[in-house]
Amino acid sequence: MSYTKFAVGLRRLLNRPGRVAVVCLFVFGVSIVLNGNLWRLWGLHRDFARISDEISTTKQGIRDLSGQLKQAKDPAFIERQARDKLDLAGEHDLVFVFPEQ
């Protein structure tokens, strides 16, 4: 193909704005994919979703721990835990001791 035929073909292409727009969009799309910006954008979106899930999970954990902390400050809760886990008795409780045979 000679230079003159190429120049004439290029001039015909440039005289049609619709085709020029399609070629520009094609070049733009290829440059975004090859440059890696689209891949980075997808990665950022994935990371944003993961971090949002972690934040909501952490906030729920904080709410749970705050409730447990309020409960642990209650003297009745402390007494109940001491009785259940340490086998302690209250001041007015009866304690039965059975001998082992």
> Which residues 6+ apart lie within 8 Å of 57 measured at CB?
none
H-type alpha helices, the chain: 3-14, 17-35, 37-72, 75-86
Total domain count, the chain: 1
Does the structure show a pLDDT above 70 at 9?
Answer: yes
* Domain membership of residue 77 as a residue range: 11-86
Render pLDDT for 59-101 as a digit per residue (tens, 0 to 9): 999 999 999 999 888 888 888 887 778 777 777 878 778 888 7
Any domain includes 64: yes
Determine, yes or no, domain membership for 63: yes
Q: Which tokens in the block code for residue 27?
A: 């070049």
